[in-house]
Amino acid sequence: MALKNLTVLMENYGLSPKGSMIKRNNDFFAEKLYDAKIGTLIRSGESLAFTADRGENLVERHYATLKLQKESQRKETEKLSLSDLESIHKAVLKKDEPIISFFDEFYRYKLIYTGIHFEILIYSLNGKDSESIPAKLSTFLNIEDFWKEVTADPNWFMALSIHQQESLQPFVLSRKVIETLNSLKKEKELSYGQHEKIYAWEKVFIHPDLKAGKVKQFCSNCTKEVKYNLRYPKYICSICSSKDKYSQEGMLLEFYNTDLSGGLKIIYKDIHGNVLREDDSKAEFLCLIDGKEFTAQEARFGGIVIQKK
């Protein structure tokens, strides 16, 4: 196999001519790409030696990756903050068209803008949830006063349900709703049912152009901000996951994935770290961290996730 001269190609890209291709078993070659200034390895890889089309080499793949990253960063900078979203949609608010529609056990409500002020219209529901002629329930000079009235009840997100299909201009309220729900998630001990209700509200107000990280999630142990993950609303951060975990009997625990078939492997240890036994018969397991109860289970795509019970 003829070895390709990576030096010239790297110099053309402005990188260090410090690269290598290693022949192995006459079937594969490996490449390594280094940073010019600090000499560290950027990436490495291997390819079949005998193919009609060699495909991209490491330099080409590296610059393709950089191009994608730059494009992703550009798109992210063009996305909107919550304040931007509010301002843009306030400016184009349509008269007499429902901003949001929501309901409780007995009534359906619609918030509209009259061109002068905001009104809540109330509809009676019959057994089939069809609507009667609406009556005006409340009037507000601004949308902030409306939201203050809704959230005056600390249990508003459980008592009221949002109607997504009939909420035609929701993004004018995105900042208020999302910031309120972010605070709830950080400050309150919420059940899984409450998290489901929060998400039912949340998803109506998440605009496709909203900047990442504006909808928050927090570690259920220390309340540190964690990556947003709807599937695991009460998962704990990496720092809390690394803390000692104990069984209810006081044995030290470690959790792993089983090798091939997937699942949860529980390792019991004594206080000196000696393995006492292993168990892979359970789908999830109760453990104690900082004296509080959590459950460990296999994550959907591998790994172990630990959530507040």
Average pLDDT over residues 203-215: 95
Please answer whether residues 51 and 30 qualify as being in contact, where contact means their C-beta atoms are separated by less than 8 angstroms: no
Residue 70 sits at φ, ψ, to 5 deg, of -65, -40
Contact residues for 133 (Cβ-Cβ < 8 A; gap 6+): 123
Considering the entire predicted model, what is its pTM? Answer: 0.74
Burial of 295 (0-12, 13-18, 19+ CB in 10 A): middle
The sign of the CA dihedral 195, 196, 197, 201 is positive
Residue 241 half-sphere exposure toward CB, CA atoms < 13 A: 17
Q: For residue range 80-117, list pLDDT tens digits in order.
A: 999 999 999 999 999 999 999 999 999 999 999 999 99
13-to-34, 56, 59, 65 alpha-carbon distances in Å: 12, 14, 8, 14
If pLDDT is split at 50, 70 and 90, which confidence band does 125 have? confident
Is the pLDDT assigned to residue 130 strictly greater than 90? Answer: no
Q: For residue range 8-66, list pLDDT tens digits in order.
A: 333 333 444 444 444 444 555 566 777 766 767 777 766 655 444 444 566 676 667 76
Tell me, what's the pLDDT at 261?
65
The secondary structure of residue 137, as a DSSP letter, is E
If pLDDT is split at 50, 70 and 90, which confidence band does 129 have? very low
Residues 250 and 288: their CA atoms lie apart, in Å, by 9
Tell me, what's the pLDDT at 72?
60
Please tell me whether residue 143 adopts helix, strand or coil conformation. Answer: helix
If pLDDT is split at 50, 70 and 90, which confidence band does 168 have? very high
Q: The tokens of 291 are what?
A: 């004296």
Q: Give every strand in the sheet of 41-48, ordered side by side.
A: 19-24, 28-34, 41-48
Average pLDDT over residues 225-248: 96
Residues 96 and 112: their CA atoms lie apart, in Å, by 5
Tell me, what's the pLDDT at 73?
62
Residues 89 and 100: their CA atoms lie apart, in Å, by 13
The sign of the CA dihedral 60, 65, 69, 74 is positive
Is the pLDDT assigned to residue 223 strictly greater than 80? Answer: yes
The sign of the CA dihedral 283, 287, 289, 293 is positive
Tell me, what's the pLDDT at 75?
60
Q: Which residue has the tokens 């409450």?
A: 194
Please answer whether residues 147 and 160 qualify as being in contact, where contact means their C-beta atoms are separated by less than 8 angstroms: no
Q: When comparing pLDDT for 225 and 4, which is higher?
A: 225
| Weakest mean pLDDT among 106-110, 122-126, 164-168 | 122-126
118-to-95, 111, 142, 155, 234 alpha-carbon distances in Å: 10, 7, 6, 23, 37
Tell me, what's the pLDDT at 180?
98
Q: For residue range 255-296, list pLDDT tens digits in order.
A: 998 876 678 999 999 988 899 999 989 999 999 999 999 999
Angle between helices 82-91 and 174-187 (to 10 degrees): 150
Residues 279 and 183: their CA atoms lie apart, in Å, by 39
Q: The tokens of 278 are what?
A: 């292993």
